[in-house]
Chain A
């Protein structure tokens, strides 16, 4: 049971709001010490894993290109594009984005969109513009909600779309693990059983997006009046 102390450090550390990097290092130390490792052994194990996981941070390479495009007015262009469409709302815009993201993820194209590549420079400014088209100059809190909804929609579409693809990491993991346990499952069967959930996610989250349109977003003028 002592092994779980590290998990407790993570839960408490994140809940209290300490810097997450410190929480992670502390959790690693506590876990390792509880498992009977010496401090320098834990540090070495953590350093080794950190080095092996550098590929996780390669995605930051897109920042210079995105930054230059922002400098040249990409967000403003995305906003004015939306301003020209009368029927657009936050919910409708994000439903279209969700459909595109889910379908492309389902055929294996998971890296063509993402928070740095599409959400920040394109979809979030579009959603904000759509909100302002309907409600006027919204408050910063409402703006944050629209942004968070955009990022969340990207995640939900990705998670419940990618498993429909045959050769995605999670399918390969399931096939490999089940094989090692003496049970043969076909990748095709796994991706087939991901389809009902994919459809359900589109319906459930799509309904939430449409409900978001029914809310009256607070405007700056109104916040000032109060």
Chain B
């Protein structure tokens, strides 16, 4: 059975190669610190469970210090020129799309093969000698990893690319993303520290003091805007939802004003998503694509999203007022 551990070994091995290629790259003025950074990331994936909490903490601290000191450079990967790409594109035509579509296809089929599908059509999970293909709790991640490997192999074979190209090209993209690659995982960890320290409860208590107890419309506004604002602070609507729903949603909107519980919860969560669109703390949605697309402004994606996010926040607030309290 394939488990998340196997996937971690795969990711770790890939970063070992990135670290090696970076350290050997004489065109990168910061090759040693760059190599160390990816090497530590590899160590976390390969040995994180055996290092102990404090060593893992020190590992992250060193990575943050390397990134903070500007230790991540960009190497020169052996990639193709614009002209070569145009020639290759003309040569292969729409064949180029096949490996790209293999990733979502394998992710989809693989997920069903691992954990089955109860509805709308019944698909039973595939068993080999009575054992599941993969850990059903991690079906999507495992299927995505398998899809990524198949797509890379297919791309090399079908398009006659050099055998080392997946590693060289992977490192080229990794150098572009740079420290932003680590940010989503770091922010998830910060959320855990916030939870231990009880940050959510303090914010929830603050928000509760703001609710006027006799005005329905004010309570709806505080709940919806609070969900968006708290999501911006925590970077995640999932962290904001329990706090504000316990503080405002249930006691005021549902119990005092008799709102429909499902409508309050569902639209409240969506109000939180408006906050996700406006915060750099939702790094994998907002900061990583800015790095991936090589935008000059790190907050370019957020700035583009703010008008839609504000309009949707107003609409969600109005929808909750109209739909949950009929």
Q: In the assembled complex, which residues on chain A have CB atoms less than 8 Å from the CB atom of B172?
A: 67
Which of the 9-residue segments A114-122, A129-137, A213-221 touches chain B? A114-122
For the residues of B in contact with A, the DSSP-based class is: helix
Tell me if A3 and B181 are in contact (CB < 8 A). Answer: no
Tell me if B64 and A115 are in contact (CB < 8 A). Answer: no
Once bound together, how far apart are the Cα atoms of A178 and B263, in whole Å?
12
Instruction: Confirm or deny: B218 has a beta carbon within 8 angstroms of a beta carbon on chain A.
Output: no
Instruction: Confirm or deny: A22 has a beta carbon within 8 angstroms of a beta carbon on chain B.
Output: yes
Once bound together, how far apart are the Cα atoms of A53 and B199, in whole Å?
20
Given contacts A21-B64, A148-B303, contact A31 B194 (CB under 8 A): yes
Shortest beta-carbon distance from A76 to chain B in Å = 4
Tell me if A72 and B85 are in contact (CB < 8 A). Answer: yes
Instruction: Confirm or deny: B1 has a beta carbon within 8 angstroms of a beta carbon on chain A.
Output: no
Which residue from B99, B197, B238 sits with its C-beta under 8 Å from A69?
Answer: B99
Given contacts A53-B189, A152-B305, contact A77 B96 (CB under 8 A): yes
Q: In the assembled complex, which residues on chain B have CB atoms less than 8 Å from the CB atom of A24?
A: 64, 183, 186-187, 189-190
Tell me if A51 and B89 are in contact (CB < 8 A). Answer: no
Tell me if B233 and A69 are in contact (CB < 8 A). Answer: no
Shortest beta-carbon distance from A189 to chain B in Å = 4
Q: In the assembled complex, which residues on chain B have CB atoms less than 8 Å from the CB atom of A174?
A: 241, 265-266, 269
Size range of the chain B interface in the assembly: 35 or more
Once bound together, how far apart are the Cα atoms of A62 and B239, in whole Å?
28
Tell me if A48 and B265 are in contact (CB < 8 A). Answer: no
Q: In the assembled complex, which residues on chain A have CB atoms less than 8 Å from the CB atom of B290?
A: 148, 151
Which partner residue on chain B sits nearest A34 by CB separation? B197
Instruction: Confirm or deny: B182 has a beta carbon within 8 angstroms of a beta carbon on chain A.
Output: yes
For the residues of A in contact with B, the DSSP-based class is: helix
Q: In the assembled complex, which residues on chain A have CB atoms less than 8 Å from the CB atom of B281?
A: 10, 14
Chain A, 184-214, contact with B by CB distance < 8 Å: what is the 0/1 string?
Answer: 0110011111101100110011001000000
Tell me if B103 and A65 are in contact (CB < 8 A). Answer: yes
Among A27, A77, A117, the most chain B Cβ lie within 10 Å of the Cβ of A77
Which residue from B4, B58, B312 sits with its C-beta under 8 Å from A204?
Answer: B312
Once bound together, how far apart are the Cα atoms of A193 and B286, in whole Å?
26
Instruction: Confirm or deny: B225 has a beta carbon within 8 angstroms of a beta carbon on chain A.
Output: no
Instruction: Confirm or deny: A112 has a beta carbon within 8 angstroms of a beta carbon on chain B.
Output: yes
Instruction: Confirm or deny: B79 has a beta carbon within 8 angstroms of a beta carbon on chain A.
Output: yes
Tell me if B165 and A68 are in contact (CB < 8 A). Answer: yes
Which of the 9-residue segments B24-32, B42-50, B125-133, B208-216 touches chain A? B42-50
Instruction: Confirm or deny: B122 has a beta carbon within 8 angstroms of a beta carbon on chain A.
Output: no
Which partner residue on chain B sits nearest A70 by CB separation? B169
Q: In the assembled complex, which residues on chain A have CB atoms less than 8 Å from the CB atom of B303?
A: 148
Given contacts A20-B179, A69-B99, A159-B273, contact A49 B55 (CB under 8 A): no
Shortest beta-carbon distance from B20 to chain A in Å = 15
Which partner residue on chain A sits nearest B154 by CB separation? A65
Which residue from B8, B194, B295 sits with its C-beta under 8 Å from A148?
Answer: B295
Given contacts A174-B241, A197-B315, contact A183 B250 (CB under 8 A): yes
Which residue from B54, B269, B307 sits with its C-beta under 8 Å from A47?
Answer: B54
Chain A, 120-154, contact with B by CB distance < 8 Å: what is the 0/1 string?
Answer: 11101000000000000000110011011111101
Given contacts A69-B96, A71-B80, A183-B254, contact A51 B56 (CB under 8 A): yes
Instruction: Confirm or deny: A225 has a beta carbon within 8 angstroms of a beta carbon on chain B.
Output: no
Tell me if B262 and A46 are in contact (CB < 8 A). Answer: no
Once bound together, how far apart are the Cα atoms of A42 and B57, in whole Å?
8
Once bound together, how far apart are the Cα atoms of A52 and B141, in whole Å?
15
> Which B residues, 144 to 186, have Cβ-Cβ distances below 8 Å to chain A?
144-145, 147-149, 151-152, 155-156, 159, 161, 165-170, 172-174, 179-186
Given contacts A116-B292, A194-B266, contact A21 B315 (CB under 8 A): no
Which residue from B99, B187, B319 sits with its C-beta under 8 Å from A65?
Answer: B99
Tell me if B312 and A113 are in contact (CB < 8 A). Answer: no
Tell me if A45 and B304 are in contact (CB < 8 A). Answer: no
Tell me if A71 and B68 are in contact (CB < 8 A). Answer: no
Which residue from B88, B145, B289, B308 sits with its C-beta under 8 Å from A72?
Answer: B88
Tell me if B10 and A77 are in contact (CB < 8 A). Answer: no
Once bound together, how far apart are the Cα atoms of A24 and B192, in whole Å?
12
Which partner residue on chain A sits nearest B262 by CB separation? A189
Which residue from B57, B111, B263 sits with its C-beta under 8 Å from A43?
Answer: B57
Tell me if A4 and B304 are in contact (CB < 8 A). Answer: no
For the complex of A and B, 4 pairs with smallest distance between CB atoms: A67-B169, A47-B57, A73-B89, A47-B56
A-B contact pairs, 15 of them (CB 8 A): A35-B197, A43-B57, A47-B52, A50-B56, A65-B151, A68-B159, A69-B159, A70-B85, A73-B80, A73-B88, A73-B92, A81-B94, A155-B285, A190-B266, A196-B319
Q: A22-B68, A141-B296 are in contact. List 16 more A-B contacts (CB 8 A).
A: A10-B281, A21-B179, A21-B182, A31-B193, A46-B57, A47-B54, A54-B45, A56-B185, A57-B181, A64-B14, A68-B99, A74-B100, A115-B288, A155-B285, A173-B238, A193-B262
